[in-house]
Amino acid sequence: MALLVQKYGGTSVGSVERIQHVADKIIAMRKQGHDIVVAVSAMSGETNRLIGLAKEMQARPSPREMDVLVSTGEQVTIALLAMALEERGQAARSYTGWQVRMHTDSSHTKARIENIDGDKIHSDLAEGRVVVVAGFQGADQENNITTLGRGGSDTTAVALAAALKADECQIYTDVDGVYTTDPRVEPNARRLEKITFEEMLEMASLGSKILQIRAVEFAGKYNVPLRVLSTFTDGEGTLISLDEDAEMESALISGIAFNRDEAQLTISGVPDHPGIAANILSPISEANIEVDMIVQNVGGEGLTDFTFTVHRNDFEKTEEVLNSVAKEIGAKQVVGDQQIVKVSMVGVGMRSHAGVASKMFQILADENINIRMISTSEIKVSVVIDEKYLELAVRALHAGLGLENEPEGLQ
């Protein structure tokens, strides 16, 4: 018998029938003898409907009032799910964020959880109830309603699991686990049985939209075993945990991630002197543009080239800023390209094994794919390539690194 915290997202609770299905799933787990705490999102579409109403009211809606408004979405779901459980003979009780003292800071629309009081929940569990908690929301010290930002229900579930010292935090979603890469690109993609928090962070930030990054960070920090499962099909999903107990079996490479949302910009012929990187990047960051990869080539003749990537939505704004920077610092030209993608291989095994990066470069070279940028971290190697090569590159890497096979130990 374990204490499980389960989270069901907007799609999983998107209709009366789906909420009833979730109730059936929970009761099946109860029958196995587990104590269950559930965190739920708003029914899919509801949050957007509410935001639409807000925008009709106020050009830039007050963040405090926005939180009062959108937090109703989850409140509707908790009541409906508790009713569905009781209709099936399972005692249940719903709680909003403030009712379980989900204390956050006061950063409306993007608050951070500071503390949860688990007493009420523990006593409900002891009396045989399923506890249903509104995801995504909390309250600050002055009892103002706050929300954690998009995807915050994952964070709620992890925070509950940490506070309650749950055995596992199960995130139910519309995919049945974390895959070695996107199965829509590589049909041989394989579901991972387990992956480390660090690997998941790298996979998540690269566009695997399964789990909210902050929730994974939070789970890693408090060592909460996290499992991704499908609401709609049975299966074991993927367990995300520390790698300490499984070092010997962990694969060299866990997966191939990619991101189509980036664009590349180069400012070239830049007079090279100390502080030039800051001169270029400060105006970008002042314009609230987030920069991802950065590469500086040391050129000849006291000149250097400077290349970086930003989100495609920010491409035009960045080009504008960069053109005025180029004039100021006497650079030769600014060149941009939106037809690029970032492809990354991720794996904790890399940490203790050299030569993995060159294997990646060789596989791409064998397919005549030109690498435009390279960036490496301890457990990740990312390259920027022409967008048209994306599928080819992912499949070649997936096959070349043997990801379709279960790992049998270190290669």
CB of 112 to a copy of itself, least distance (A): 21
The correct pick among 54, 246, 281, 392 for binding a copy of itself (CB under 8 A) is 54
Does 94 participate in binding a copy of itself (rule CB under 8 A)?
yes
DSSP code of 228? E
In one-letter notation, the amino acid at residue 365 is: A
Chain centroid to Cα 264, Å, comes to 23
CB of 70 to a copy of itself, least distance (A): 8
Please state, in angstroms and rounded to a whole number, the distance separating the CA atoms of residues 136 and 71: 8
The correct pick among 72, 106, 107, 279 for binding a copy of itself (CB under 8 A) is 72
Chain centroid to Cα 152, Å, comes to 10
Does 86 participate in binding a copy of itself (rule CB under 8 A)?
yes
Pairing of β 113-115 and β 35-40: unpaired
User: What torsion do the CA atoms of 241, 246, 247, 248 make, to the nearest 10 degrees?
Assistant: -160
DSSP code of 179? B
Does 51 participate in binding a copy of itself (rule CB under 8 A)?
no
Angle at 275 between CA 270 and CA 279, to 5 degrees: 65
Nearer to a copy of itself, 72 or 230 (CB): 72
**Can you tell me which residue has the tokens 């299905």?**
21
Nearer to a copy of itself, 66 or 401 (CB): 66
Q: Give counts: helices (H), strands (E), the chain.
A: 11, 20
Nearer to a copy of itself, 50 or 185 (CB): 50
Using CB atoms within 10 Å of the CB of residue 253, give its burial: 0 to 12 exposed, 13 to 18 middle, 19+ buried: buried
CB of 206 to a copy of itself, least distance (A): 36
Does 382 participate in binding a copy of itself (rule CB under 8 A)?
no
- Map the footprint of a copy of itself across residues 7-46, applying CB under 8 A: 16, 19-20
The correct pick among 31, 33, 56, 244 for binding a copy of itself (CB under 8 A) is 56
Does 357 participate in binding a copy of itself (rule CB under 8 A)?
no
The correct pick among 11, 44, 99, 230 for binding a copy of itself (CB under 8 A) is 99
Site string for a copy of itself, 129-168 (x = CB under 8 A): --------------xxx-----------------------
CB of 159 to a copy of itself, least distance (A): 19
The correct pick among 65, 174, 182, 217 for binding a copy of itself (CB under 8 A) is 65
**Can you tell me which residue has the tokens 């992956």?**
195
The correct pick among 18, 25, 30, 93 for binding a copy of itself (CB under 8 A) is 93
Please state, in angstroms and rounded to a whole number, the distance separating the CA atoms of residues 149 and 136: 7
Please state, in angstroms and rounded to a whole number, the distance separating the CA atoms of residues 14 and 11: 5
Please state, in angstroms and rounded to a whole number, the distance separating the CA atoms of residues 159 and 37: 12
CB of 238 to a copy of itself, least distance (A): 31
Number of residues that this document lists for the chain: 411
Question: Which range touches a copy of itself (CB under 8 A), out of 79-87, 242-250, 259-267, 392-400?
Answer: 79-87
- For a copy of itself (CB under 8 A), the number of binding residues is 37
Nearer to a copy of itself, 93 or 380 (CB): 93
DSSP assignment of 345-399: EE-GGGGG-TTHHHHHHHHHHHTTPPP-EEEEETTEEEEEEEGGGHHHHHHHHHH
Integer Rg of the chain from CA: 24
Does 75 participate in binding a copy of itself (rule CB under 8 A)?
yes
Please state, in angstroms and rounded to a whole number, the distance separating the CA atoms of residues 388 and 298: 29
Q: Which residues bind a copy of itself (CB under 8 A)?
A: 16, 19-20, 50, 53-54, 56-59, 61-62, 64-66, 68-69, 71-72, 75-76, 78-80, 82-84, 86-87, 93-94, 96, 98-99, 143-145
